[in-house]
Amino acid sequence: MSFHRFVYLCGWTAVALLAIVGFAAFSADSGSQELSAVTSNNSWGVAAGAVSGQGWLALAGTVDTASVVTAPDATPGPTSVPPSGGATPPVTMETGWLDSVAVRDLVQTFFASGDVNRAVRLAWCVSRFDIDSINPSSGAAGLFQIDPAAWPDLLSDADLSGSADIFDPAASTQVAAHIVYQGEGWDYWNCQD
């Protein structure tokens, strides 16, 4: 058997095993349990999926993006109004990119639980989770692509210190939540999510 076939076989075996483990992690006892009760116990499933994805990146040869990114240990408390103060930013890769787990942890801190998925999709749409990204046509920057000209006003409106950097993922996420809940809403971004 050639090396490529072996790697292919190993890959699909890993995918099948992760699918089985994932279904086991998300299955609940029969009855009328709330979805929130199921999703509150899935952190190991999310971590396993993130590690698997990073492993595939390593196999694909993009070793520089294959480092596993972890968010600080915290119990995120989604709220409908962003809290004052800043969250501890996640550990990023050398490239400035975050993985979906780190972005989700940030978003859960500042967005209402019903808006978490939409906010994660928005961050992917506008910046591809690159905290250092700058839109060449508009100049918008950071994880949520905030207009730098409006940044100082948005910081004070969101009760953040005036020295918070537009490339700080926690500050960008908190300002984005402020825009959604107390500003222009989702229409601030021109992105199909």
Q: Looking at the structure, do residues 53 and 84 belong to the same domain, yes or no?
A: no
Q: Looking at the structure, do residues 103 and 157 belong to the same domain, yes or no?
A: yes
In this prediction, residue 161 carries a pLDDT of: 78
In this prediction, residue 10 carries a pLDDT of: 82
In this prediction, residue 154 carries a pLDDT of: 93
Mention every residue, 6+ apart, whose C-beta is less than 8 A from residue 42: 25, 26
In this prediction, residue 17 carries a pLDDT of: 80
Copy the structure tokens of residue 177.
């939540």
Given its phi and psi angles, is residue 18 left (phi above 0), alpha (psi -120 to 50 degrees) or beta? alpha
- Residue 121 carries which side chain, given as an amino acid letter? R
Cα separation, 192 vs 134, in Å, equals 18
Last residue of a domain, one of 68, 86, 115: 68
Q: Looking at the structure, do residues 153 and 79 belong to the same domain, yes or no?
A: yes
Q: Looking at the structure, do residues 125 and 45 belong to the same domain, yes or no?
A: no
Q: Looking at the structure, do residues 60 and 84 belong to the same domain, yes or no?
A: no
Per residue in 101-133, pLDDT (tens digit) is 999 999 999 999 999 999 999 999 999 999 999
**What pairs with residue 134 in β-bridges?**
141
Per residue in 167-193, pLDDT (tens digit) is 999 999 999 999 999 989 999 998 865
Q: Looking at the structure, do residues 95 and 190 belong to the same domain, yes or no?
A: yes
Q: Looking at the structure, do residues 131 and 141 belong to the same domain, yes or no?
A: yes
In this prediction, residue 140 carries a pLDDT of: 95
**Residues of the domain holding 32:** 1-68
Q: Looking at the structure, do residues 51 and 77 belong to the same domain, yes or no?
A: no
**What domain count does the chain have?**
2
Q: Looking at the structure, do residues 120 and 99 belong to the same domain, yes or no?
A: yes
Mention every residue, 6+ apart, whose C-beta is less than 8 A from residue 31: none
Per residue in 71-91, pLDDT (tens digit) is 333 333 343 344 444 444 444
Q: Looking at the structure, do residues 47 and 131 belong to the same domain, yes or no?
A: no
Last residue of a domain, one of 68, 100, 115: 68
Q: What's the full length of the chain, in residues?
A: 193
